[in-house]
Amino acid sequence: MSLIIGLGVVLVLAILYLIFRIGNLVELVKGKKDDVSSWNTANAYLLMLFMIVSLVSFVWYSVVHFDSYNLPVASEHGALTDYLFWITMAVTVVAFVIITIAMFWFTFKYRYQEGRKASFVSDDHRLEIIWTVIPAIVLALLIFSGLRAWNDITGPASKDAVVIELIGQQFLWTARYPGVKDSQLGKHNYKMIDASNEFGLDLSDKNTFDDFKSLELHLPKGKEVQLMIRAKDVLHSVFLPHFRVKMDAAPGMHTTFKFIPTKSTADMREETGNPNFNYEMACTEICGRGHFSMRFPVFVHDTVEDYEKWMASQEAWLKQNPEYLQRVPPALREAAMIKAGIPADSEAAIMASPVTVTAKFK
């Protein structure tokens, strides 16, 4: 059956080709002067059809999928960059539509016609100056507004900003919070990293004692957050799509990004009508075979008080890994136990316990 259909198709194509050939031969016999293909006019109409179909479908999908252009925005600077995005979109769409229509209309209107001669137009300085100056002015405005936003976004964070460290590694993220006692991130050194001390905390610095680890990024709503970003092994990139935040994580350096979340997780659940909504952070720099799975849950608290309550409920890293007290210089040990919240009477037992983790110096 399919053989017959196939043969039929071939036959029809062959007939169409013959008709086309005959048409050409007839033209030749009639003594056509030019070597222009008889398909020339058809091509002009097809180009016109192409333009109309493309522009209509462009408008159609833009309207239908308007909400999918950008995710709902949940940060202060994000509203600004979205605004810039849409301004740029408006300018470029106008330019795109005008130029596209002009170009396709010219190709249609000035398609080959027998006997007509093309006009000799090779230069028009006035016209050229106009279309150099207009884009230059429009671009200057875009550059100006873009740079103002950029300077605000990349400017220094305020003194009372919440500081959180994000660490990327193959293939997971971890967050380190400064702890409620000193609100300062302690020093770290990559040579001190081992299986338990995954931050490479330098325990001779007293600011490390109350630092704690989190496998979820918790943020306060309405307060400035300063992310300190680093990587352990290869490049990673912090991407918080709803907050319009992106910054690479590179080993050997700290990158930063500051922003103010404006919608808590609860707000967003209400806005999207999805009770299971959760913010998410992703990695956007190829980092190896597990790159696609490198996600990190994000939770935004409704108020700063809620956030602080959550902070206070977390256990210091040192309390979770008390054997590391042995690494703390003896003079600081008491302060460390107080800051980390380790009961004072357990010191002797901890110091006597065998060292479970050995540092790997290479």
Partner 1 sequence: MATLDIHPQTTTHHDDHGHDHEHHGNFWTNYVFSEDHKVIAKQFLITGMAWALIGGILSVLFRLQLGFPEANLSWLRPILGGWLTPEGKIDPEFYLALVTMHGTIMVFFVLTAGLSGTFSNFLIPLQIGARDMASGFMNMLSYWFFFASSVIMFTSLFISTGPASGGWVIYPPLSALPQAMQGSGLGMTLWLVAMALFIVSSLLGGINYITTVINLRTKGMSFTKLPLTIWAFFFTAIIGVLSFPVLFAAALLLIFDRSFGTSFYLSDIYIGGEALPNQGGSPILFQHLFWFLGHPEVYIVLLPALGITSEIIATNSRKPIFGYKAMVGSMLFIAILSFVVWAHHMFVTGMNPFLGSIFTLLTLIIAVPSAVKIFNYVTTLWKGNIRFTAAMLFSIGLVSFFLTGGITGIFLGNSAIDIQLHDTYFVVAIFTW
Interacting positions 342-361 with partner 1 (CB under 8 A): 360-361
Residue that is written with structure tokens 């020093």 in the block: 187
341: region left, alpha or beta (phi > 0 left; psi from -120 to 50 alpha):
left
Interacting positions 37-56 with partner 1 (CB under 8 A): 37, 39-40, 43-44, 47
How far, CA to CA in Å, does 351 sit from each of 86, 313, 322, 340, 348?
Answer: 62, 26, 9, 16, 5
User: Which window, 1-9, 25-33, 185-193, 270-278, contacts partner 1 (CB under 8 A)?
Assistant: 185-193
Candidates 31, 252, 275, 343; binder of partner 1 (CB under 8 A) is: 252
Taking the complex as a whole, how short is the minimal distance between the CB of residue 336 and partner 1, in angstroms?
24
Whether the Cβ atoms of residue 198 and residue 165 lie closer than 8 Å to each other:
no
Count residues binding partner 1 (CB under 8 A).
Answer: 94
Q: Alpha-carbon distance 172 to 214, whole Å?
A: 12
User: Which window, 3-11, 137-145, 205-213, 344-352, contacts partner 1 (CB under 8 A)?
Assistant: 137-145
Q: Alpha-carbon distance 36 to 7, whole Å?
A: 33
Does residue 70 bind partner 1 (CB under 8 A)? yes
Q: Alpha-carbon distance 51 to 224, whole Å?
A: 48
Residue that is written with structure tokens 């080993």 in the block: 251
Does residue 59 bind partner 1 (CB under 8 A)? no
H/E stretch holding 196: none
User: Which window, 24-32, 36-44, 203-211, 347-355, contacts partner 1 (CB under 8 A)?
Assistant: 36-44
- Which residues is 261 bridged to in the sheet? 75
What value does the CA radius of gyration of the chain take, rounded to a whole number of Å? 33
Interacting positions 288-307 with partner 1 (CB under 8 A): 288-292
Q: Alpha-carbon distance 238 to 231, whole Å?
A: 10
Kindly report the number of other CB atoms within 10 A of residue 19's CB atom.
Answer: 10
Does residue 102 bind partner 1 (CB under 8 A)? yes
Does residue 66 bind partner 1 (CB under 8 A)? no
Does residue 20 bind partner 1 (CB under 8 A)? no
Taking the complex as a whole, how short is the minimal distance between the CB of residue 319 and partner 1, in angstroms?
24
Kindly report the number of other CB atoms within 10 A of residue 229's CB atom.
Answer: 22
Does residue 65 bind partner 1 (CB under 8 A)? no
Choice between 234 and 332, CB closer to partner 1:
234
Q: Alpha-carbon distance 255 to 285, whole Å?
A: 15
Does residue 199 bind partner 1 (CB under 8 A)? no
Whether the Cβ atoms of residue 189 and residue 200 lie closer than 8 Å to each other:
yes
Candidates 255, 314, 321, 326; binder of partner 1 (CB under 8 A) is: 255
User: Which window, 23-31, 149-157, 205-213, 301-309, contacts partner 1 (CB under 8 A)?
Assistant: 149-157
Candidates 96, 196, 271, 357; binder of partner 1 (CB under 8 A) is: 96
Does residue 341 bind partner 1 (CB under 8 A)? no
Choice between 60 and 292, CB closer to partner 1:
292
Give me the phi and psi of 27, to 5 degrees please. -60, -40
Choice between 10 and 101, CB closer to partner 1:
101
Q: What sign has the CA pseudo-torsion 222, 210, 314, 238? A: positive
Does residue 262 bind partner 1 (CB under 8 A)? no
Choice between 151 and 313, CB closer to partner 1:
151
Nearest by Cα to 152 from 199, 50, 84: 84
Site string for partner 1, 265-284 (x = CB under 8 A): -------------------x
Candidates 8, 23, 135, 329; binder of partner 1 (CB under 8 A) is: 135
User: Which window, 34-42, 172-180, 308-316, 343-351, contacts partner 1 (CB under 8 A)?
Assistant: 34-42
